[in-house]
């Protein structure tokens, strides 16, 4: 069956990223593999609805998408978490992440970067394989066996030589994560970078995870665990998080 116009529209929107905020028609056609005539027709539709805006340099995502992006319950979670993340950021001076699980990936809702140390590959709105990240592993450890198994099925995408090499290795590590209540990533997502992460637990369910990233050469990160747990607990107690049933239900349904 030929792809519907809706699928084509999402293919076009999916070509935009942090690294490619403005694209020409030819670039979009090349990235999507769609004929230029089809891309032109889809862009015209998206421009008319405000999902895409045309500039002198090409096309960019429109403000209507920004407005829609503020509607999911994860946006409320991010907003509620930000004050606690900023406090933790001032204390640690390290890079912080707030993420949720979607399929086999983590999606980053917020990132507060450090001016020092090793850059983190995570970008707000982007995805990384869950088993390569501390936030991903702590979420996998709290999402139930069926969801974990589904998340670990599919092509393996190691990011560094130290990324876990198989689902069996991940499952063994998740046992320790459940016992300790935290997860660690040592140069599994990026060389030279380590992370420690804890879950944000609402009514016993991990709706998100928070991590601190730091240079792997700086040690185990154990000194960061207590303030990290305090921040995660404060986020979980936020009224916008505690009273948002859709956030918990959404994580169960789509992860």
Q: From residue 57, how far is each of 22, 31, 124, 170 by CA, in Å? A: 7, 17, 24, 45
- CB-based burial label for 18 (10 Å; 0-12, 13-18, 19+): exposed
The pLDDT of residue 61 is: 92
The pLDDT of residue 156 is: 86
Report the C-alpha gap between 12 and 114 in whole angstroms: 33
Using the Cα atoms of residue 125, residue 102, residue 137 and residue 157 in order, give the sign of their dihedral.
Answer: negative
In 3D, which of 143, 106, 148, 175 has the Cα closest to residue 248? 143
Look at the block and give the residue holding tokens 């001016």: 115
**pTM for this structure?**
0.80
Look at the block and give the residue holding tokens 């609805």: 49
Report the C-alpha gap between 168 and 104 in whole angstroms: 15
The pLDDT of residue 204 is: 87
Weakly modelled stretches of the chain, pLDDT under 50: 1-2, 249-255
The pLDDT of residue 106 is: 94
Q: From residue 114, how far is each of 11, 111, 119, 213, 239 by CA, in Å? A: 33, 10, 8, 9, 29
The pLDDT of residue 2 is: 47
Report the C-alpha gap between 129 and 107 in whole angstroms: 9
């Amino acid at each position: 069956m030929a792809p519907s116009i809706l699928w084509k529209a999402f293919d076009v929107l999916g070509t935009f990223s942090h690294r490619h905020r403005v694209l020409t028609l030819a670039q979009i056609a090349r990235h999507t593999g769609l004929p230029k005539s089809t891309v032109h027709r889809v862009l015209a539709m998206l421009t008319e609805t405000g999902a895409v805006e045309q500039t002198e340099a090409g096309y960019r995502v429109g403000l209507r998408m920004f407005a829609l992006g503020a509607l999911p319950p994860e946006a409320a979670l991010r907003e509620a978490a930000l004050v606690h993340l900023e406090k933790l950021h001032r204390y640690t001076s390290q890079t912080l992440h707030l993420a949720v699980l979607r399929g086999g990936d983590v999606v980053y809702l917020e990132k507060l970067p450090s001016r020092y140390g090793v850059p983190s590959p995570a970008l707000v709105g982007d995805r990384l394989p869950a088993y390569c990240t501390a936030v991903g592993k702590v979420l996998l450890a709290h999402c139930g066996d069926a969801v974990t198994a589904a998340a670990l099925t599919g092509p393996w995408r190691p990011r560094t030589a130290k990324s876990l090499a198989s689902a069996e290795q991940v499952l063994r590590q998740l046992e320790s994560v459940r016992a300790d209540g935290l997860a660690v990533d040592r140069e599994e997502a990026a060389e030279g970078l380590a992370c420690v992460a804890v879950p944000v637990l609402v009514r016993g369910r991990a709706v998100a995870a928070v991590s601190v990233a730091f240079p792997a050469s700086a040690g185990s990160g154990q000194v960061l665990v207590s303030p990290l747990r305090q921040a995660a607990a404060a986020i979980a107690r936020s009224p916008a998080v505690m009273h948002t049933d859709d956030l918990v239900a959404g994580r169960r349904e789509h992860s």
